[in-house]
Amino acid sequence: MIDLDAADRTILRALEADATLSAGALGRIAGLSQPAAWRRLQRLREAGVIAGRRIELDAVKLGFGVTVFLGVKLATKGRVSLEDFERAVSAIPEVQTVQHVLGLYDYRLRVVARDIADFERVLRRRIMLLPGVGDVEANVLLSEERRAGPI
């Protein structure tokens, strides 16, 4: 585990918002020279803190008007291979994220669709046909706010 000081935190916060910032730009934001910012950046990368980049697209402008979170319970636990379910669900293009969870449901899926009719198609023809799928609960996303987190 890596310890962060105030300058590291400033750099991480800036990078979280814009992954394309150069070491020079990060240095200006954190009040460091370009080489000093670069060294910190290297250290954060080597520690695995920077996991990668995410392209941010406007889903609505691209015609994806509906995002739904599904809680999925497997029907026959023990008899169904989790790997089979995970492989099949990950292959559905409309499924953006798959998380294995402990609680009321076994899996949590984030699904995008063009509209409610399109979502119904994905649900009936894709999700409900997955191996081992049991109870499914759907919640339609109304708003989403991502926070910077404890940095």
Q: Output the six-digit token pair for 47.
A: 């520690």
The least distance separating other proteins from the CB of residue 93, rounded to whole angstroms, comes to 4
The least distance separating other proteins from the CB of residue 124, rounded to whole angstroms, comes to 17
Query: What residues line the site for other proteins (CB under 8 A)?
Result: 1-2, 4, 12, 15-20, 47-59, 61-62, 64, 69, 71, 86, 89-90, 93-105, 108, 110, 112, 137-147, 149-151
The least distance separating other proteins from the CB of residue 130, rounded to whole angstroms, comes to 13
User: Phi, psi at residue 53, to the nearest 5°?
Assistant: -120, 155
Distance CA 57, CA 54 (A): 9
Distance CA 67, CA 140 (A): 6
Pick the closer one to other proteins by CB: 2 or 129. 2
Class of residue 85 by CB neighbours under 10 A (exposed 0-12, middle 13-18, buried 19+): buried
The least distance separating other proteins from the CB of residue 20, rounded to whole angstroms, comes to 5
Pick the closer one to other proteins by CB: 75 or 141. 141
- Cβ neighbors of 47 (< 8 A, separation 6 or more) are 2
